Amino acid sequence: MSQKDKIMFPIIYTLHYKPSSECEFFKVLEREGYYIGWCEVLERPVVKSSIYKCERYWQTCPFRKSAQALPS
């Protein structure tokens, strides 16, 4: 079972719309008719109150910047 399958308290993560972000580290999971934003840098879901930051301010995200600075 992956970490993505072990989401605790899904109500704080679930959205009724499919979020989108141009961030290369942002993924969308679909669960039982709902959507969950996932941050690959943090390896955890993004709470729904913070999804707008991934959608609108992804270019200035400190997590994204630190991941880009790491050697491949």
Q: What is the mean pLDDT of residues 52-69?
A: 95
Tokens of 6: 């072990």
Average pLDDT for the chain: 91
d(CA 42, CA 34): 21
pTM summary value: 0.86
Q: Report residue 70's pLDDT band, with 50, 70 and 90 as the boundaries.
A: confident
* Contact by Cβ (8 Å): 36, 29: yes
Work out the percent of the chain whose per-residue pLDDT is above 70.
90
User: How do residues 17-52 score in pLDDT, each as one tens digit?
Assistant: 999 999 999 999 998 899 999 999 999 999 999 999
